[in-house]
Structure 1
Amino acid sequence: MRSATLHGPKEMRVTVSIVSHGHGQMIIPLIEKLLDFPEIGTVIITHNIPEVISLPESPRVIRRWNSAPKGFGHNHNDAFCLCVDDFFCVMNPDIDFVENPFSALVTELVASGSAMIAPKVVDSTGCVEDSARHFPTILGIVKKVLGISDGRHMELSQMNPFHPECVAGMFMLFKYDGYRKLNGFDTRYFLYYEDIDICARIWKAGASVLLLTPVVVIHDAQRKSHKSFKFLRWHISSMLLFFRLHMWRLPQVATAYRSKNNW
């Protein structure tokens, strides 16, 4: 990953990184809402494939175009090189908001000493998604295939704040220095499991992952790995890489853990 910019982070502002895979008009209302939130310093849009779209004109919007598609982690790491704010938020283009989530998330992230925080994620019908998960294991994969369990934390509705083992990459808010210490996402993952990997590395570094359950965002999930052989192949390849890197070495995480390592 390239080094950060020469400018120091601005006080209590968030840079948001969004990668468009031809999402087109979907990202326009998302950008407009983000620009209305006072905590947002910069919105970085990475066009991972060619598309023609007019975005809201603002000095706070930065656009990047890839000459060839890059992986999830690679795109967000490149965007981080343009971050001049205190916080860096990785966000899917199909996120929507009930209300501004950033004030509460930033406040809790600073107070907790955690390295990364996420909101509770619901679908368009209001059902809670499986964004807070246990680390994957061979037994857990078998249970998922058999339809016994999808690996989600069942304690999500009872605890606040809540320390899941890992959270999904559709919305992750990092401290600038925390993301830099981690060297961002591991770019050996092209797609899938890079979010689980970075959570594992956070816990191994002595920091924590936090989910603020009263803060809610909406996600229109696109489970493409269930529909396309290409995405399924990436999913399986990333899963095998994760097991090779972390199998038998996953951190033991207590859900009530409160980080003493202030990141």
Structure 2
Amino acid sequence: MITSSIVLYKTAKDELNTVVSSVLDSCISFLYLIDNSPNRELESFVAKFDKKRVFYIFNDRNLGYGAGHNIAIREAIRKNACYHIVLNPDIKFKADAVTKICEYMNHNPDVGQVMPKILYSDSNIQYLCKLLPSPMDLFGRRFIPIKKYKEKRAYKYELHAMGYDKIMEIPVLSGCFMFMRVDVLKKVGGFDERFFMYSEDVDLCRRIGEVSKTMFYPMASVYHGYEKGSYKSWKLLKYHICSAIQYFNKWGWVFDKKRILRNKECLDALSQKK
């Protein structure tokens, strides 16, 4: 059984219709729509979908991204699901994408999380395979106004040199499409709800990587709107900064031996694949 979840917050109806249609056309058994919006405006729109597969949960307040998905993750555990997929609302995919990832996971029981190739609407690659971040990766790339520095830092941090054309074990996989083994989620406990928004996916992927493999699987692909909201909204930028501070307070700022070791192991392994 495969379950999935989307956290809503004033989500555009056309966007929601696209992602739910993708889910219902696939082999995903259940979809949980966790609504953090200030009102139930989306409930009547959601009512048109198959009620046996799509479940709407209204929270009456904004719990945050990770806390919202944890509601669905607990349901996945209760239902003894094999896999759970965390989805962004701006995702769309063909049915075979889920089938391909599921088959890969079935044949690789040591893998706890998979990310497919993530594409823009024009089919260009989004560079969302990343190393475990240092403060310079999250703050330096954003605030140091030197274009060449930013490009050089991003090239290494986002692993551009790897070509995104082969199966790779990657320390950090994007939160826009998180295909996870439920038994592994039981071990790590789902999202850390201290992160309201941003960095919760980095934190969860890191914890999954401590007990299993986290893999990039380019044989399957999905499309992602990738709004980069924190580049357009001061409020979202504030959330992004606060979450990054929380992340480094939790794992370490300069002295993070596990980050250094994991990133070195990743780069060494990838260099052998070239």
TM-score bracket for this pair, using the shorter chain length: 0.7 to 0.9
Whole-angstrom CA distance in 2 between matches of 1:137 and 1:20:
30
Q: Structure 1: which 5+ runs fail to align?
A: 1-12, 259-263
Q: Deviations over 1:37-75 (max 9, x none)?
A: 1x2110111111022342213311111001101111100
Q: Which of 222, 240, 245 matches 2:245?
A: 240
User: Normalising by the residue count of structure 1, what TM-score does the alignment of the two structures yield?
Assistant: 0.86
The structural deviation recorded for 1:95 is: 0.2
In structure 1, the partner of 2:35 is 47
**Residue 176 and residue 168 in structure 1: after superposition, are their counterparts in 2 closer, same or farther (change >3 A)?**
same
- For the 8 Å contact 2:100–2:219, the answer to whether it is kept is no
Query: 2:188 is matched by which residue type in structure 1?
Result: L
Whole-angstrom CA distance in 2 between matches of 1:41 and 1:241:
35
Segments of 4+ moved more than 6 angstroms: none
Listed as ranges, the matches of 1:183-202 within 5 Å are: 183-202=189-208
**Residue 21 and residue 158 in structure 1: after superposition, are their counterparts in 2 closer, same or farther (change >3 A)?**
closer
The structural deviation recorded for 1:123 is: 0.9
Q: Which has the higher helix share?
A: 2
Q: Structure 2: which 5+ runs fail to align?
A: none
Whole-angstrom CA distance in 1 between matches of 2:119 and 2:130:
14
In structure 2, the partner of 1:4 is none
Whole-angstrom CA distance in 2 between matches of 1:154 and 1:15:
32
Whole-angstrom CA distance in 2 between matches of 1:29 and 1:166:
27
2:7 is equivalent to residue 19 of structure 1: yes
Query: 2:248 is matched by which residue type in structure 1?
Result: F
**Residue 81 and residue 197 in structure 1: after superposition, are their counterparts in 2 closer, same or farther (change >3 A)?**
same
Whole-angstrom CA distance in 1 between matches of 2:50 and 2:165:
41
2:131 is equivalent to residue 134 of structure 1: yes
The secondary structure found in structure 2 opposite 1:16 is strand
- For the 8 Å contact 1:160–1:213, the answer to whether it is kept is yes
Query: 2:116 is matched by which residue type in structure 1?
Result: P
The secondary structure found in structure 1 opposite 2:82 is strand
- For the 8 Å contact 2:112–2:214, the answer to whether it is kept is yes
Whole-angstrom CA distance in 1 between matches of 2:233 and 2:240:
11
2:55 is equivalent to residue 62 of structure 1: yes
Whole-angstrom CA distance in 2 between matches of 1:62 and 1:156:
39
In structure 2, the partner of 1:224 is 229
Query: 2:236 is matched by which residue type in structure 1?
Result: F
Q: Deviations over 1:130-157 (max 9, x none)?
A: 3211111133342454423333122443
Q: Which of 18, 27, 35 matches 1:29?
A: 18
The secondary structure found in structure 1 opposite 2:75 is coil
Whole-angstrom CA distance in 2 between matches of 1:203 and 1:57:
35
- For the 8 Å contact 2:35–2:59, the answer to whether it is kept is yes
In structure 2, the partner of 1:117 is 114
Q: Give the paired residue count.
A: 244
Q: Deviations over 1:201-252 (max 9, x none)?
A: 12233x2211101211000011111121111111011111111111214342
In structure 2, the partner of 1:8 is none
Q: Percent identity?
A: 23
Q: Which of 154, 157, 161 matches 2:163?
A: 157
In structure 2, the partner of 1:7 is none
Query: 1:181 is matched by which residue type in structure 2?
Result: K
- For the 8 Å contact 1:153–1:164, the answer to whether it is kept is no
- Computed over aligned residues only, the root mean square deviation of the Cα atoms, in angstroms, reads 2.0
**Residue 40 and residue 158 in structure 1: after superposition, are their counterparts in 2 closer, same or farther (change >3 A)?**
closer
- For the 8 Å contact 2:22–2:95, the answer to whether it is kept is no
The structural deviation recorded for 1:25 is: 3.0
Whole-angstrom CA distance in 1 between matches of 2:117 and 2:238:
28
The structural deviation recorded for 1:110 is: 2.8
- For the 8 Å contact 1:121–1:216, the answer to whether it is kept is yes
Q: Which of 231, 238, 250 matches 2:258?
A: 250
User: Normalising by the residue count of structure 2, what TM-score does the alignment of the two structures yield?
Assistant: 0.83
